Structure formats: C-alpha cells, structure tokens
C-alpha cells in the first residue's frame, strides 16, 4: 500500500514537471500576443491592486518598525559617542596634569641651576599631600620627612621662589609654614637698592614688608629676596614683587605690599633645602627665645 502511494506521487510529480516544461517551451516560443502572454498580463492586472493595497496597509507598520530601529541605533550611537567623549575628557585632563607637573619641574630645575642658587645645600624633592589654610593660617603637608633628612627650620622653595619653612617633622612627612601665614616672618631686602625689612604674612594671599627705612628707595615692580639675616632662611631666594608702597608722614617706616612669586593655590611640588654639615640654622622652636 505504501509503495503504491509512493508510485502515485512520483507519477504526479513527473506529469507536473512535463507540463511545466511544455508550458515554458510554449511561452518562450509563442509571440508576445499569444495566449500565455495575455494570461500573464491579465494576472498582473489582478494582482497589482492587491499588492498595492497590501503595501498601503502595511506601510505604517513598516515605517514604525524602521523608525524604532533608527531610534535604537541612534541611542546606541549616542551612548558610544558619550563614552568616547568621556574618555577623551579624561585623557585631556591627564595630559594637562602631566604638562603642568612637567612645567613645575622645569621651573625648579631652572631655579636651582641659577648661579645665585646656594649650591652647597642638598635638595630634597617633595610633593604636597595635604593643606590646612584659612584667612590667617596657611600650612601644607609634604611627603618627605626625617628619614629623608628633613628637619625643623629648613627652607622650602619651588621653581617660582620661596614657599616657607619646615615647622613640624615626622618620619615620612613634614609640615611647612607658608610665607603667607600670618605668623610668618622673613628677613628680606629689595632689588635694586638693598633696603632691608621684614616680610610678613598678609591677607588674600599677599605679603607685607615692614620696617623698611623711610628714606630707602622702593618702587612698584622692585623684586624682594631673602636677606639671610637671622639664619632663618637661605639667602637670595626670590620672594615676590612690590605692587604698592605706603609712605605716610605719621609712620616711621615704609609699608610695602608684595605679590608673592609662588602661586600657593597651585602648589604641588617643592624642594626642601638641607644645609651642609656644620651650618648654623635657627629652628622655628628657638624663635620665641630670641633666636
């Protein structure tokens, strides 16, 4: 029974194949106006409106699908672009930080290579790792300490000029009293003229130079450097530039306003100057005793 059904199906397929071949042969051999060509054109006339209707009916759904596909694609592109932009911003920030650090290091290298720099001092590099500042108090913590040879009273500089003086020491860190602190006192002199005075910590990041002889010549843009008097700071370190001179009759001394060379808001790398063996430098703790 199964074999008979298989034979029947094969016979039907053979007949249909023969008919198809015959129809194709007839189609290609007959003229354009023949029966099969006419039948084809009639079928197209019937089917075309149906295809148009189906296309019209399904068009909005296709458009919606295309719109959704484009929306998801745009969102994906936006997220990728956002991530790329974030990566670029991170790289730019890192590059700027590296450039700033390199510039600070170049400034310090140029500073210590100047002929006026005290070459007998050992230079200990350090990085600022903490800050404690207010309108009157200003100190920073650096990552070098007694294990590196740092001790009380040592002068701290960077590539711009005088930063301050070591005021407390631990094994691996130290505290630096900045020259803008209201308790800071630096013996200084003017260039040119060599008039002497004391630079005091002021307000708003400025300094004041007091006890300058009333007859001394002092003008805006004159440079102020450490004098080395009192053995508290290394001699000849740039402090700042004069921006205003007060010379009132009722005062015994000139009062000078100074803009420091060091930008304390951007203080990152410093050098601690360690004096040679046998050098006499007064630590901060002895100042109160008239040192």
Domains of the chain by residue range: 2-60, 114-279
pLDDT at 65: 66
pLDDT at residue 207 greater than cutoff 90: yes
pLDDT at 135: 60
CA neighbor of 201 nearest in space, from 165, 228, 252: 165
Cβ pair 122, 149 in contact under 8 A: yes
Strand-pairing partners, residue 123, are 273
How far is the C-alpha of 79 from the C-alpha of 113, rounded, in Å? 51
pLDDT at residue 31 greater than cutoff 60: yes
223 token code pair: 């440079």
What pLDDT, in 10s, does the model give residues 67-123? 677 766 777 777 777 777 777 676 666 566 556 556 656 666 666 666 656 667 888
pLDDT above 90 covers a percentage of the chain that reads 29
Q: Which residue has the higher pLDDT, 202 or 140?
A: 140
Could you tell me the pLDDT band of residue 289, with boundaries at 50, 70 and 90? very low
Distance of CA 76 to the CA centre of its chain: 29
Cβ pair 123, 112 in contact under 8 A: yes
The greatest distance separating any two alpha carbons of the chain, rounded to the nearest whole angstrom, comes to 136
What CATH number should be reported for the domain whose range is 114-279?
2.40.10.340
Cβ pair 242, 221 in contact under 8 A: yes
What pLDDT, in 10s, does the model give residues 121-178? 888 999 999 998 666 678 999 999 999 999 999 999 998 899 999 999 999 999 999 9
pLDDT at 142: 96
96 token code pair: 């700027």
What are phi and psi for residue 196, nearest 5 degrees?
Answer: -100, 155
What are phi and psi for residue 101, nearest 5 degrees?
Answer: -65, -45
> What one-character-per-residue DSSP string does 222-236 give?
-EEEE--GGGSS-TT
pLDDT at 2: 56
pLDDT at residue 282 greater than cutoff 60: no
Highest mean pLDDT among 61-65, 134-138, 174-178, 242-246: 174-178
The string over 146-174, giving b where at least 16 C-beta atoms fall within 10 Å of a residue's C-beta and e elsewhere, is eebebbbbbbbbbbbbbbbbbbebeeebb
pLDDT at 242: 93
pLDDT at 254: 85
Cβ pair 261, 161 in contact under 8 A: yes
Task: Give the Cβ contact number of residue 111 at 10 Å.
Answer: 19
- Dihedral angle at the C-alpha atoms of 35, 39, 45, 46, nearest 10 degrees? 150
Cβ pair 244, 218 in contact under 8 A: no
pTM attached to this predicted model: 0.62
pLDDT at 109: 64
How far is the C-alpha of 46 from the C-alpha of 50, rounded, in Å? 7
Q: Which residue has the higher pLDDT, 44 or 246?
A: 246
């Amino acid at each position: 029974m199964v074999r008979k059904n298989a034979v029947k199906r094969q016979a039907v397929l053979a007949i249909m194949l023969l008919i198809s071949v015959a129809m194709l042969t007839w189609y290609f051999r007959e003229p354009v106006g023949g029966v099969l060509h006419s039948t084809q054109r009639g079928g197209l006339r019937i089917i075309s409106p149906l295809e148009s209707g189906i296309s019209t009916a399904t068009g909005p759904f296709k458009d919606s699908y295309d719109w959704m596909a484009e929306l998801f694609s745009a969102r994906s592109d936006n997220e990728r672009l956002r991530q790329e932009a974030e990566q670029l911003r991170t790289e730019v920030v890192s590059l700027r930080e590296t450039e700033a650090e390199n510039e600070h290091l170049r400034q310090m290298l140029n500073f210590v290579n100047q002929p006026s720099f005290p070459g007998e001092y050992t230079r200990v590099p350090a990085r600022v790792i903490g800050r404690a500042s207010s309108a009157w108090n200003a100190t920073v913590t650096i990552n070098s300490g007694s294990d590196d040879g740092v001790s009380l009273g040592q002068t701290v500089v960077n590539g711009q000029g005088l930063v301050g003086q070591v005021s407390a020491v631990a094994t691996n860190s130290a505290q630096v009293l900045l020259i803008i602190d209201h308790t800071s006192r630096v013996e200084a002199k003017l260039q040119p003229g060599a008039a002497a005075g004391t630079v005091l910590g002021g307000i708003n990041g400025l300094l004041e130079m007091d006890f300058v002889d009333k007859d001394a010549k002092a003008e805006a843009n004159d440079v102020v450097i450490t004098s080395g008097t009192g053995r508290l700071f290394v001699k000849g370190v740039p402090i700042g530039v004069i921006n205003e001179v007060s010379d009132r009759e009722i005062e015994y001394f000139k009062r000078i306003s100074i803009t420091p060379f060091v930008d304390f808001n951007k203080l990152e790398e410093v050098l601690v100057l360690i004096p040679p063996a046998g050098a006499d430098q007064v630590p901060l703790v002895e100042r109160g005793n008239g040192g």
